[in-house]
């Protein structure tokens, strides 16, 4: 069995795989990393661990993972199943490289655009010749709500809510419309732009806000909130070969 750990900006997601089958997903805060991993190791007979992190972890947290003798920490020197054409390859987030790896496994032909809707929205493009070319980064849903509150003196911090219409008639409904509809329009617009340039395009939406956003998009997509975890499992097996 494999344990795949994705340490994000906000939460940690860990998944147990039996070969390519996803058995269980755990979500917890970074402060509980050591305790949670030890509990998972107690519940499952784990053979290998792979770790992807965009956040800093403490020495003791890393040691807990290293104490398990078969742990792979992904970095920019790890093996990836595509040609990295990014102009600054060592500056790109490991999570984006994992998503590109998952796209490489997912696609049979054609081009793939992976949209990760988490703390940030990342767009990552893998072409039909297996070249990773980059994409874009923009603020995520919660970040947009928080920025309106933080950078103004009068706008409240609201919880994420689907707007009833584009036209808001109160401050609250205007914020929901601006944030949620604005992000939906952005994603639909980016997909449309890619479709105009790159034919035979498959679009995959993943990340924590997948379920909330996928129902509102007009574009044709594959929604898979565990796409990055599946990519980690694929990368672990790829690096073990």
Instruction: List the catalytic residues.
Output: 95
Query: If you count them, how many residues does the chain have?
Result: 241
> CA-CA distances (angstroms) from residue 151 to 119, 145, 181?
18, 11, 20
The reply to whether 171 sits in an annotated binding site is yes
d(CA 188, CA 220): 9
Q: Is 9 annotated as a binding residue?
A: yes
On whether 121 is known to bind a ligand per the annotation, the reply is: no
Ligand-binding site membership of 64 (annotated): no
**Residue 95 annotated as binding site:** yes
Annotated binding residue at 6? yes
Kindly state the tokens that stand for 114: 């992976």
Was 146 annotated as part of a binding site? no
- To the question of whether residue 37 is assigned a binding role by annotation, the answer is no
Does residue 209 have a known ligand-binding role?
no
- Cα gap 48→55, rounded to integer Å: 22
Closest CA to 49 of 31, 65, 28, 36: 65
Query: Please, which residues have CB within 8 angstroms of residue 56's CB and are 6 or more apart in sequence?
Result: none
Strands, sheet with 201-206, edge to edge from the N-terminal-most edge strand: 83-84, 131-139, 120-126, 111-117, 201-206, 222-223
Query: Is 145 labelled a binding residue?
Result: no
Question: How far is 210 from 118, CA to CA, in rounded Å?
Answer: 8
Residue 144 counted as an annotated binding residue = no
Q: Which residues are annotated as a binding site?
A: 6-13, 86, 93-96, 116, 119, 171
Q: Which residues are annotated as a binding site for K(+)?
A: 116
């Amino acid at each position: 069995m494999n344990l795949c750990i994705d340490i994000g900006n906000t939460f940690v997601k860990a998944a147990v795989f039996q070969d390519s089958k996803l058995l269980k997903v755990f979500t917890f805060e970074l402060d509980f990393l050591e305790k949670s991993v030890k509990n998972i190791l107690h519940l499952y007979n784990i053979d290998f661990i792979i770790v992807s992190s965009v956040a800093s972890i403490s020495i003791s947290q890393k040691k807990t993972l290293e104490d398990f003798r078969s742990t792979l920490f992904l970095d920019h020197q790890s093996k990836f199943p595509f040609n990295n054409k990014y102009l600054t390859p060592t500056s790109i987030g490991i999570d984006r490289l994992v998503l590109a790896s998952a796209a490489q496994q997912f696609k049979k032909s054609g081009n793939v655009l992976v949209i990760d809707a988490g703390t940030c929205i990342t767009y990552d493009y893998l072409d039909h010749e297996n070249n990773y070319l980059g994409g874009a980064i923009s603020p995520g849903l919660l970040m947009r709500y928080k920025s309106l509150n933080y950078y103004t003196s009068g706008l409240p911090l609201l919880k994420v809510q689907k707007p009833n219409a584009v036209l808001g008639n109160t401050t609250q409904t205007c914020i929901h419309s601006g944030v949620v509809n604005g992000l939906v329009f952005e994603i639909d617009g980016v997909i449309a732009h890619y479709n105009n340039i790159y034919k035979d395009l498959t679009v995959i939406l993943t990340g924590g806000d997948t379920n909330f956003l996928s129902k509102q998009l007009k574009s044709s997509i594959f929604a898979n909130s565990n796409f990055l975890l599946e990519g980690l499992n694929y990368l672990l097996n790829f690096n073990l070969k």
